[in-house]
């Protein structure tokens, strides 16, 4: 590369600034993280203001953000279909004058949608201080600080009369994972609807369903249960991978093929939730010929009447998928059924395949093939038999009769 085209070296900060930046970085490293990383983040930001190219400050800041701000926040915010669905549902259910409780503030999007829909005031809670701090900035940048209050608390710690002026008219949340349960939605909403909301409060979402279906995908097995690598047999390692968690990129690459329709496992009422355990046995019907490699579990949430979001096999968006792998791939034909046992404890889902079987055949009466001579009248047969054979036939007839008679037990 010609000398004139070489990138200019980064300008070094003044010696005093570089020294102060280094001091701040070392101080940041000594801070406890009990405050959710707030103090550490402030120190690192100050260090980078003084020396924008400080290597260790950049590394520590990124590590801090990845630790306290889950990365799924960003593809979720970029999911246009999900955002539009929540916007429609909030517009349909929030009324002018409503007090709204938004659980799980994130960047503040659903809180801002509720304010735009006419809520009197929105109280949005976020337990992670770094996220709550950033949400306040987003809300301020959009001119809604006077309509939205960010409460840096877990919703279970919110108190009406202290954090909320009165119970909420509407409770908004999106605290679900790929099978609805993993972020504690049922426990959180059970508390919120009983302690923080009016008796007839509206919820977004209103309800959810968990469904399952048999799927085929050689690519799924290649990804999660490779048979060999460089000629070595890896099959003894496979028992460590029974549940495949598929981010959108892996889900698309695996191209799961449904071998039957979805079957409902559980339904949840988010307006009247409970945390009771549940267990069900379901038959997943196969409608196509193929090989079942896994059972795909997915959800559908009804946010408002006619407004749904889902992560089924035909849906796009930011949602991941959960596939329960069979111990052995099993060929199936239309009409075959996979019997599964699904259980949940209000926080986690388990699913196991009990058996895959063909449909029961229609019962048929037994057919006894008989030589016509066997059913000829005894007298006619005996007329043609020599005397010893007639006696022998009589013995066999008595034996047959004894076998056919039911046994009778009598008391002594």
For the chain, how far is it from start to end, CA to CA, in angstroms?
A: 113
Is 267 a catalytic site residue? no
In this structure, what DSSP letter does residue 102 have?
E
> Cα-flanking dihedrals φ and ψ of residue 120, to 5°?
-65, -45
Burial grade of 290 (CB within 10 A; 0-12, 13-18, 19 or more):
buried
Helices (H), 8-148: 15-29, 38-50, 55-68, 73-77, 80-93, 109-116, 129-141
CA distance linking residue 356 with residue 283, whole number of Å: 9
Answer whether 286's CB lies under 8 Å from 352's CB: no
Annotated catalytic residue within 126, 174, 206, 302 = 174
Q: Is the backbone peptide bond immediately before 205 cis, with ω within 30 degrees of 0?
A: yes
CA distance linking residue 113 with residue 183, whole number of Å: 22
CA distance linking residue 48 with residue 265, whole number of Å: 51
Q: HSE of 216 in the Cβ direction (CA atoms, 13 Å)?
A: 16
Which contacts (CB < 8 Å, 24+ apart) does range 156-161 have? 156/188, 156/191, 158/101, 158/125, 158/196, 160/195, 160/196
Is 355 a catalytic site residue? no
| Strands ordered across the beta sheet of 278-285 | 278-285, 337-344, 349-357
Q: Comparing C-alpha atoms, which of 68, 53, 79 is closest to residue 130?
A: 68
Annotated catalytic residue within 20, 22, 183, 393 = 183
Catalytic residues: 174, 183
């Amino acid at each position: 590369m010609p000398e004139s085209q070489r990138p200019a070296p980064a300008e070094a900060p003044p010696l005093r600034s570089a020294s102060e930046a280094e001091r701040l970085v070392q101080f940041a490293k000594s801070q406890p993280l009990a405050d959710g990383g707030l103090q550490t983040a402030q120190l690192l930001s100050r260090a980078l203001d003084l020396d924008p190219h400080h290597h260790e400050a950049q590394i520590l800041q990124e590590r801090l953000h990845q630790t306290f701000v889950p990365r799924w926040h960003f593809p979720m915010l970029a999911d246009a279909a999900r955002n539009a669905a929540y916007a429609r549902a909030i517009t349909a259910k929030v009324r002018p004058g409503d007090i709204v409780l938004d659980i799980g503030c994130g960047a503040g999007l659903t809180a801002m949608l509720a304010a735009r829909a006419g809520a009197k005031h929105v109280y949005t809670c976020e337990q992670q201080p770094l996220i709550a701090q950033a949400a306040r900035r987003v809300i301020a940048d959009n001119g809604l600080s006077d309509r939205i209050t960010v409460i840096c608390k877990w919703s279970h710690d919110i108190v009406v009369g202290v954090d909320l002026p009165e119970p909420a008219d509407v409770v908004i949340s999106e605290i679900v994972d790929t099978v609805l349960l993993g972020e504690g939605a049922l426990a959180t909403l059970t508390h919120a609807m009983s302690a923080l909301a009016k008796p007839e409060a509206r919820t977004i979402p209103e309800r959810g369903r968990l469904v399952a279906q048999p799927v085929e995908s050689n690519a799924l097995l290649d990804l999660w249960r490779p048979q060999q690598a460089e000629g070595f047999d890896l099959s003894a390692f496979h028992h460590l991978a029974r549940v495949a968690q598929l981010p959108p990129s892996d889900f698309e690459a695996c191209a799961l093929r449904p071998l039957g329709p979805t079957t409902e496992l559980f339904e949840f009422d988010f307006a009247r939730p409970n945390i009771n355990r549940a267990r069900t046995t379901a038959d997943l019907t196969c409608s196509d010929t193929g090989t079942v490699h896994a059972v795909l579990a997915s959800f559908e949430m009804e946010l408002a009447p006619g407004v749904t979001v889902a992560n089924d096999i035909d849906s796009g968006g930011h949602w991941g998928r959960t596939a329960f792998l069979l111990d052995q791939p099993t060929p199936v034909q239309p009409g075959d059924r996979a019997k599964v046992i699904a259980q949940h404890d209000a926080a986690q889902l388990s699913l196991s395949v009990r058996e895959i079987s063909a449909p029961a055949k229609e019962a048929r009466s037994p057919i006894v093939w008989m030589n016509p001579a066997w059913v000829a009248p005894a007298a006619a047969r005996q007329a043609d038999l020599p005397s010893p054979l007639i006696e022998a036939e009589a013995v066999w007839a008595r034996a047959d009769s004894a076998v056919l008679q039911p046994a009778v037990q009598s008391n002594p």
